[in-house]
Amino acid sequence: MKLYTFFRSSASYRVRIALNLKGLTYEQAPIHLRRGGGEQLSAAYKAINPQALVPTLEDNGKVLTQSLAIIEYLEEKHPSPPLLPKEPADKALVRSMAMVIACEVHPIQNLRVLNYVKKEYNQTDEQVNRWAQQWIDLGLSALEQMIVAQPKRGKYCFGDAPTLADICLVPQLGNARRYGCDLSLYPNILAIEKDCMALPAFVNAAPEKQPDAE
């Protein structure tokens, strides 16, 4: 398998964690999101991923995009260890936690959105960071409440094994710190992050461990 990735990309980080949790080996094809205006915008990469976003996974000639779709593909092809609970309501809960991050928070603090806000509306770096903080805080505070309220509270977002929810949460916390969010407001999330970062699958997927890290 080949993963088109960028070390600091949180969506790529999600897929790296999932691959590691499942014990799958893969090669990395780094796509630098800033160099030369962004390698994701090259014609060669857009031919692979028309959205010009990372990650993309190639597996036996199949080209897969969108981190959640990629992770669900890995889950179906390599069910062990499971990244989703079996019971339908539990599965829906874990997916909903993942989607708080992947569908509501991450898309509106993504590089191209922040660049657009900055240039088109003539905003300073501080104002752009404030924009990112606003949406990250809204999502994390909802997720903190969801974690506390759910019936199977354990070490992770759901229960005592890492799931898709943790896979989305941990990379987002790196972005939250980068934009100056006050994470002390989310003690349950911070405790989950600590437990995740005790696992080699999370540690080895971290941005600073990647071959393209700067």
Write down the residue that tokens 């924009």 correspond to. 131
Q: Is the peptide bond before 55 cis (omega within 30 degrees of 0)?
A: yes
Task: From 114, 103, 4, 99, select the one nearest 49 (Cα to Cα).
Answer: 4
In the complex, what is the shortest distance from the CB of residue 13 to ligand GSH, in angstroms, rounded to a whole number? 8
Rounded Cα–Cα distance for residues 106 and 161 (Å): 24
Q: Is 18 in the site for ligand GSH (CB under 6 A)?
A: no
The single residue among 3, 5, 7, 10 that binds ligand GSH, judged by CB under 6 A, is 10
Nearer to ligand GSH, 76 or 89 (CB): 76
Q: Which stretch binds ligand GSH (CB under 6 A): 22-30, 64-72, 77-85, 186-194?
A: 64-72
The single residue among 17, 18, 19, 33 that binds ligand GSH, judged by CB under 6 A, is 33
Number of residues interacting with ligand GSH: please give it, by CB under 6 A. 16
Rounded Cα–Cα distance for residues 146 and 192 (Å): 13
Q: Is 111 in the site for ligand GSH (CB under 6 A)?
A: yes
Task: From 166, 164, 165, select the one nearest 195 (Cα to Cα).
Answer: 166
The single residue among 91, 112, 153, 155 that binds ligand GSH, judged by CB under 6 A, is 112
The single residue among 5, 20, 67, 109 that binds ligand GSH, judged by CB under 6 A, is 67
In the complex, what is the shortest distance from the CB of residue 206 to ligand GSH, in angstroms, rounded to a whole number? 14
What residue type is assigned to position 62 of the chain? K
Q: Is the peptide bond before 81 cis (omega within 30 degrees of 0)?
A: yes
The single residue among 20, 109, 110, 172 that binds ligand GSH, judged by CB under 6 A, is 110
Nearer to ligand GSH, 135 or 188 (CB): 135
| Contacting positions for ligand GSH (CB under 6 A) | 9-11, 33, 38, 40, 53-55, 66-68, 102, 110-112
